[in-house]
Amino acid sequence: MLLNIQNLSVEFQTAGGMFRAVDGVDIQCERGEILSIVGESGSGKSVSMLAMMGLLPWTAKITADHMFFQDHDLLSMNKSAHRKIIGRDMAMIFQEPMSSLNPCFTVGFQIAEVLRLHFGMGRKERRKRSIELLDQVGIPAPETRLAAFPHQLSGGMSQRVMIAMALAGDPKLLIADEPTTALDVTIQAQILELLTGLQREKNMALILITHDMGVVAETAERVQVQYAGQKVEEQHVMELFNTPHHPYTAALLAALPERAEGRHLPSIPGVVPGQFDRPPACLFAPRCTRKKDDCDRAVVRQDANLGHALCNYPIRGGAT
Amino acid sequence: MTDTTNIKSARDVKRQMRRRMLADFWFYFSENRGAVIGLWVFVILVVVAVLAPLFAPHGPTEQFRDALLTPPVWQEGGEWKFLLGTDAVGRDMLSRLIYGARFSLFIGVVVVTLAVTGGVSVGLITGYFRGVLDTVIMRIMDIILAFPSLLLALVMVAILGPGLLNAMIAIAIVLQPQFVRLTRASVMNELGKDYVTSARVAGASPFYQMTRTILPNCLGPVTVQATLSFSNAILDAAALGFLGMGAQPPTPEWGTMLAEAREFILRAWWVVTFPGLAILITVLAINLMGDGLRDALDPKMKRS
Amino acid sequence: MSHPILQGTDLVRYYEVSKGLMKKPGLVKALDGASFTLSAGKTLAVVGESGCGKSTLARVVSMIEEPTSGKLLIDGQAAIVGSVENRKAVQIVFQDPYGSLNPRHKVGYILEEPLLLNTDMDGIARRKRAEETMERVGLRPEHYERYPHMFSGGQRQRIAIARALMLNPRVLVLDEPVSALDLSIQAQVLNILADLQTDLGLAYLFISHDLSVVKHIADDVMVMYLGKVVEAGAAKDVFGAPKHPYTEALLSATPIANPGHKKQRIMLRGELPSPLNPPEGCYFSPRCRFADDTCRATAPELETVGTVKVACFHRR
C-alpha cells in the first residue's frame, strides 16, 4: 500500500482550549488510485493532508497509530529525511493558484527550484526539464513562459504551473487540495482532465480533496466522506452515489440542487459542531433524522459492506 | 437546533460576549511576558502619579537648606529622610520623581490626544476624498516627517516660546503624520469592502461613512501607534525639558530635572541618574505594552 | 403575466484603466449592452465566468454605479443613483459573507442602519422590524446583540439577506449569494430565498457561475461572455436546448453528481481573452469550434430564434 494512515488526530492550541480538527481518521491509498476526500468546512479534510506533509503550524499536535508512505514511517522520521520525500515522491497542489506561487520569482525559477533541491540538476538541464514539464501540463509556447511572473498568468495557467512544479519530482502520490474551486468552470474542466490524464500516464496516486460532489462523481474511483474531523463513510464512487450508508452522505446528496424535486431542497438542519458544542458520541446525531437515544452514548463503525459508516443505524440498501 | 435551555435574554448575551472578548484579548496579550510586565509597571506608575501626595514623603518644591546634595540612603552620608537623596537646592529626589510622574503622564495623555484627534481626522478626510486634497496634505506630512522630530519640535517651541504647553503642542504636531498615514491607509483599504458599499448605497452621507462605518475598523493600528506615541511624547518632552525649552524649573518634570543636574554628573550622580532611570523605565514599560497590544490585536496572529 | 418591475435596456459600463504614465488609458468594456425585464415573483439568473460582466451588471442594477449608457427603469420610471425611492425598491446581497458585514457593528445595528438612514421610524419601531426580519430568515432574537465574527458563513448570509429586506424592496439582486457556502448550508439559504420569494413576491436577479444552482431556481436565464449577452431566454429552453456554443460548453463543463452519467465533454480551447483587448468580431470566436471568417470579422447581434435570443452566426 502506498499510503497507510491509521487513527490520525490533529489538535490545535487555541484561545479556548485544544481544538480537535481531525479525529481518528484512516486514509489508505494504493498506487495509481484516485481517492477523493469529500466534506464541507470543518471536516478536517485539508488538515489531515497538511499534517501528513508537515505543513501545519507549531500549534498543531499530530498523533497517529500509523503513518506510512511507501515503507517510510512519517511519524518517526527526522526533518531532513522528511524533506527528501515531500515535494518529490509526495507532492501537493493547493486551492488558490494565484497565491500559491511566490510573486517575487519567475515561473521558471520556481520550477527549477524543485529540480535543484531534489535532483541537483545543473542549469541547462533544469531549463530543459522545466520546458518539458510546462509542455506536459499543456502550457503553449513554454520557452516564453519561463520568464513570466505569477501575476502575469491567469488562474488556469497558474494552476498548470503548480501542477508542473508538483510533477517535477516525479511523485508517486499527488495530493490536490480543492485544485479547481477558485477557477471558472470551463477551466476547471480543463484542469481536471489534465490531472486525470497525467495520473493515468504516470500511474500516480491522486488524492483529490474537494467539496464539489460533481467533481467527485466524474473523477474519483474511491470516495471518503468526512464530517467534523471524522471519517464517516468510504466506498467506491458508484456505490456511494447510489447507495450511501451514512445518513450524512445521504443528506448531502439529497441537498444537491440537481437532485431537487420541487422548490425546496432537503437541507440538513443545524450546523457542523465547532469547538464548544461537540456532541458526546456521534457528531452528526444532533442533525440526524435517524437518531436514537444510544447515539448519544456510543457510535460504532460498520464494516466494508456498509461503507465503513460511522453510524449506529446506517442506511441499508437503496434510498433512505 | 432550537434548544430551549439556551435561550438567553439579550442582556445576558451582551455580558457573556463582552467577557469572552476580554478573555480572548487577555489570552493573546498575556502570552507576551514583557507586555504583561510593562502593563504592571505602567499601572503602578499611574497609581503612584494619581496618589502622589500619599506616596511622596515631602513636597516636590520643598527645599531643605541644611541637606543640600545629600546622597541616597544606602551611600555614606545618606539619610532615611531622603531615600534617594536631594538635589542642589535641597529638594527630595524621591518626591520630585513621584510628582514628576504626574507631569509625564499628563504630557503623554495630552500629546497623544491632540495627535490622534488631529491625525485621524485628517487621515479620514484624505483617505476618503483622495484627489488634490490628498496629494497636498500628504506632501505636507512628508515634509514634517522629513525633519528630525526633535529638531522640528525645537523650532516650533522657539517660535511659540518655551513652556510645557507649547512643548506639548509642538510634539503633537510632530507626531501627527504617523496617525494621518496609518488612518489613510486603513481608510483606503476599507473603501473596497462590501459593507462600506452597502452603507453608501443605503444612503449614508460621507460623514456618516467616515465616522460610523470606516473609523471603527481603523482603530486597531491607531491604538498601537497611540501607545508608542505616548512613550515618544514623554521622551521628546524630556528632551525639550533638558534643552530648557520644555517645562521650566522648578517644575519637577523629569527632563527638566536632568537639565538642572547636568553639572552634577560627577559630583552627585543621583541627581542625574534617577530622573534618567525614571524616563527609561516608563518608556520601556509603555513600549513593551504597545508591542503586546499590537500582537494581541493583529488578526493574523490569532489562533482560533 | 405580471408586469415588469425592472427593465434594463442596452446597459453599458466601461472602466478606464491607466496603463502607465506614458500610455493612453485603456478601456475595459465590463458590460457591453445588456437588456432584460424582470417581473414580480420571478428569478432571472445571469450566468457566466469571470470577466463576463455579471457582477458589473449587478452593481449597475442596484445603483451602486451609474451605467456609462443605457436605461434602467424601475416600475417604469428611470432609475437615479442615490434616489431614496429606488433604493427602497432594489437591494443587493453580496457574495462574500465575510466581507459584507461591518465587523464592528452588532447585528441589530447592521439591520437597523437602512431604516435609520432612510426612514423616520423611532428606535422601538426599528428594533421591532429588525427582530421580525431576523425571524423571517431563521435567526434567533439573541443574535441581535452579537457581532458578525461570531456567526458562520451561512448565518452571515442570512443577516445580509435580512438587511436587504429591511426597506421592503421589490427586487433583490443576489450576487453569487451561495457560492462561498457549503453544500448543506447552500441548501438552507436557497430554501429561505425561495420562501421569501413566495411570501413577499420578490423578483430576483440571481448572479451565479454555478449552473446546477441556477438550473434549480431560475425562471429565465441570461448567459454572458466578456460583457456581452450571448444567449437569453426561459431557463428550460436555454438549458434544455442551448443554441450558443458557449452555453453548450458551459453546460458540458459543469460536473454532474452522477458517476454513471457518460458525458461527451466539449473542451474549450484556450483561455478567456483579456477584457482590455477583446478579439475582433465575435468575442467567443478564438475558442469556438464553429468559428469561421465571418465570426472573426463581425460581432453577431442578439436575435430572437424561436423562444430564445442568441448572438451567434452558427446557432443550432
Q: What is the pLDDT of residues C35-47, one digit of tens each?
A: 999 999 999 999 9
pLDDT at B1: 42
Q: Give the separation between CA A167 and CA B225, rounded to whole angstroms.
A: 47
Name the pLDDT band for B4 (thresholds 50, 70, 90): very low
Please give the DSSP secondary-structure letter assigned to residue C207.
E
Across residues B32-36, what is the average pLDDT?
86
Burial class (CB in 10 A: 0-12, 13-18, 19+), C223: buried
pLDDT at B302: 53
Lowest-confidence region among A224-228, B296-300, C188-192: B296-300
Query: Are residues B304 and A16, on separate chains, in Cβ contact within 8 Å?
Result: yes
Reading the block at residue C30, the C-alpha cell is 465590463
Per residue in B74-117, pLDDT (tens digit) is: 888 888 888 888 888 888 889 999 998 998 889 999 999 999 99
Q: Is C65 an interface residue toward B (CB < 8 Å)?
A: no
Lowest-confidence region among A6-10, A55-59, B246-250: B246-250
Query: Are residues A15 and B1, on separate chains, in Cβ contact within 8 Å?
Result: no
pLDDT at A53: 87
C216 chain-A contacts, CB cut-off 8 A = 257-258, 260, 265
pLDDT at B196: 93
Choice between B302 and C143, residue whose per-residue pLDDT is larger: C143
Helix, coil or strand: residue A92: strand
Contact B172, B114 (CB under 8 A): yes
Query: Can you give the pTM of this predicted structure?
Result: 0.86
A266 chain-C contacts, CB cut-off 8 A = 187
Question: DSSP string covering C139-154, please?
Answer: --GGGGG--GGGS-HH
pLDDT at A320: 45
Q: Is A267 an interface residue toward C (CB < 8 Å)?
A: yes
Q: Is the pLDDT of residue B7 over 60?
A: no
Mean pLDDT (chain B) is: 86
Query: Are residues C187 and A185, on separate chains, in Cβ contact within 8 Å?
Result: no
Across residues B49-53, what is the average pLDDT?
89
Name the pLDDT band for B9 (thresholds 50, 70, 90): low
Query: Are residues B304 and A19, on separate chains, in Cβ contact within 8 Å?
Result: yes
Q: Is C43 an interface residue toward A (CB < 8 Å)?
A: no
Name the pLDDT band for C134 (thresholds 50, 70, 90): very high
pLDDT at B300: 55
**Residue among B1, B23, B304 whose CB faces A270 most closely:** B1
Instruction: Kindly state the percentage of chain A with pLDDT values over 70.
Output: 99
Residue whose C-alpha is closest to residue C87's, from C144, C185, C6, C168: C168
Q: Give the separation between CA B92 and CA B82, rounded to whole angstroms.
A: 6
Query: Are residues A267 and C271, on separate chains, in Cβ contact within 8 Å?
Result: no
pLDDT at A172: 92
Burial class (CB in 10 A: 0-12, 13-18, 19+), C147: middle
B302 chain-A contacts, CB cut-off 8 A = 15
A252 chain-C contacts, CB cut-off 8 A = 183-184
Q: Is C272 an interface residue toward A (CB < 8 Å)?
A: yes
Query: Are residues A12 and B24, on separate chains, in Cβ contact within 8 Å?
Result: no
Mean pLDDT (chain C) is: 88
Question: DSSP string covering C15-48, please?
Answer: EEE---SSSPPEEEEEEEEEEEEEETT-EEEEE-
Contact C102, C111 (CB under 8 A): no
Question: DSSP string covering A203-218, please?
Answer: T-EEEEEES-HHHHHH
Total count of residues recorded for chain C: 316
CA B254 to centroid of chain Cα atoms: 15
Reading the block at residue B24, the C-alpha cell is 480572548
pLDDT at A271: 82
Which is it for strands C308-310 and C228-234: parallel, antiparallel or unpaired? antiparallel
pLDDT at B299: 59
Helix, coil or strand: residue A17: strand
The residues, ordered by sequence, that sit 6+ positions from B287 with a Cβ below 8 Å of its Cβ are B38, B228, B231
Residue whose C-alpha is closest to residue A50's, from A71, A21, A30: A21
Instruction: Kindly state the percentage of chain B with pLDDT values over 70.
Output: 94
Which residue is closest to A269 within chain C, CA to CA?
C188
- Range among A279-288, B59-68, B113-122 rated most confident: B113-122
Residue window 63-122, chain B: list those with CB within 8 Å of chain C. none
Q: Give the separation between CA A65 and CA A26, rounded to whole angstroms.
A: 10
Per residue in C22-37, pLDDT (tens digit) is: 777 788 888 988 999 9
Mean pLDDT (chain A) is: 89
Per residue in C52-67, pLDDT (tens digit) is: 889 899 999 998 888 9
Angle at C105 between CA C104 and CA C107, to 5 degrees: 135
pLDDT at B66: 85
Query: Are residues A41 and C182, on separate chains, in Cβ contact within 8 Å?
Result: yes
Per residue in C140-193, pLDDT (tens digit) is: 888 998 889 888 888 999 999 999 999 999 999 999 999 888 888 899 999 999
pLDDT at B3: 40
Which residue is closest to C108 within chain B, CA to CA?
B10
Bridge partners, residue A233, by sequence = A225
Q: Is the pLDDT of residue A99 over 60?
A: yes
Helix, coil or strand: residue B24: helix
Instruction: Kindly state the percentage of chain C with pLDDT values over 90.
Output: 43
Question: How many beta carbons lie within 10 A of that of residue A302, not counting itself?
Answer: 18
**Looking at this predicted complex, what is its ipTM?**
0.85
Q: What is the CA radius of gyration of chain A?
A: 21
Q: Containing H/E element for C216?
A: helix C211-217
- Could you tell me the end-to-end alpha-carbon distance of chain C, in angstroms, rounded to an integer? 29
Please give the DSSP secondary-structure letter assigned to residue B205.
-
A16 chain-B contacts, CB cut-off 8 A = 24, 304
Query: Are residues B17 and C150, on separate chains, in Cβ contact within 8 Å?
Result: yes
A267 chain-B contacts, CB cut-off 8 A = none
Q: Is the pLDDT of residue A223 over 90?
A: yes
